[in-house]
Amino acid sequence: MSEIKKLRTESILKELIPEALAHLDDENLKNLCVVDVECRKGRYDAFVYLDKMFFNIHEQEKILNTLKKASRALQNYCMSEQGWYRCPNFHFKFDDRLEYQNHIDALFEKIKRKNDES
């Protein structure tokens, strides 16, 4: 039962966080794409994975710092929209999983080509 609640919370946050970002005054934050949300520690923490898009390292650090400052406003938005008493603490990260998956796919393709040549 607890797993269902966790998945439901993750799904709701995946929809609410982009809405909350759109209500902020910062243009850099309005266009961020939330790739995934993962709740941990009994839904006390939510790790929010963002799409890197075309941000360089410096821009990513700046955005993460801004998000850290705005996290309370984002939590308040989510609580007011859902009528929750409390909201998980947000931890924002840029998602490296797509790059990793592309790398693994390229390795498998390379192995396949070598096997086809043999």
Beta-carbon contacts of residue 88 (< 8 Å; ≥ 6 apart): 9, 13, 39, 43, 44, 45, 46, 75
Phi and psi of 87, rounded to 5°?
-130, 145
Specify the pTM: 0.79
pLDDT per residue as tens digits for the range 64-73? 999 999 999 9
Residue 43, pLDDT > 90, answer no
Taking the CA atoms of the chain, what radius of gyration do you get in angstroms?
Answer: 18
Amino acid sitting at position 2: S
Instruction: Catalogue all structural domains in the chain, each as residue range(s) with its CATH number.
Output: 1-117 (3.30.300.20)
The beta strand positions in 41-80, using DSSP E, are 45-50
Residue 27 has pLDDT above 90, yes or no: no
pLDDT in tens, 52-63: 878 889 999 999
Q: At what angle do helices 2-22 and 57-82 cross, to 10 degrees?
A: 110
> What 3-state DSSP class applies to 58?
helix
Helix, strand counts (H, E) of the chain: 4, 3
Residue 9 host element (H or E) = helix 2-22
